Structure formats: structure tokens, C-alpha cells
Amino acid sequence: MSGESGLRNPPAAVRGIGAAALGVEGLVLLLAIVPLRVVGNARGAAGTAVIVVLALACFVLAGMMRRSWVWMAGTVLQVVLFVSGVFVHLALSVAGVVFGLTWWYVLHVRRTVLGPGPD
């Protein structure tokens, strides 16, 4: 089905949706810092540092979507986000589930457009 997608450049389109998902995830994480600090006691500076590192990882991976290993790294990032909810705040686990499902959908779109093989 990869030849039938109707896209001019299917790999670029798939990279674009992956980068967009990671970019939005990073932005949401940065926007969550203040509410988690005010309302949820996100473990102080250490919790904020964890959130900033996760957000930066999202942005770095979004910028490196041309590399094939980024897809696996994005999957690992979703797991790390979910697990960080245990140590920082439960809301991060909820975000991990939401973005994990989003990432699963992005991977599904990638598989549908490009097929099961590598880029």
C-alpha cells in the first residue's frame, strides 16, 4: 500500500507526523511545570528538572526524525514518561498514557503508509 498512499513523499510525511507528535508532547510537558509545582508538589527542583529533560528529549528527537533509531527512542521516551509519574507526580503517568497512545497511533500510521519494513 505504500505506493498507493497518494503522498508525494511518504517517508517525509511520516517523519512530519512523528516530529509533530513529539513537538506537541514537549510543549505540553513544559506547560505542565507550573501547574504541577503549584497544585501537585512535583518534587521541587528535581521534579522540574525531570520534566525539562523529558521535554528537551522530545524536541531533540523531533529534530532527528531522519534517523531510523529515533522511532524506537520515541517509544522508550513514552515509557520513561509513564514511569516518571511514580517518582515525580501521577499526572506525568497520565500524560505518559495519553502520549503513549498517540505515539502508538503515529507508529500505526507509519506502518500503514510505509509498510512493515524500514524507511
User: Is residue 21 within 8 Å of 106, Cβ to Cβ?
Assistant: yes
pLDDT digits 0-9 by tens, 56-106: 999 999 999 999 999 999 999 999 999 998 888 888 999 999 999 999 999
As to burial, measured by CB atoms within 10 angstroms (0-12 exposed, 13-18 middle, 19+ buried), residue 81 is buried
Q: How many angstroms separate the first and last alpha carbons of the chain?
A: 14
pTM exceeding the 0.85 threshold for the entire prediction: yes
Domain ranges for the chain: 9-112
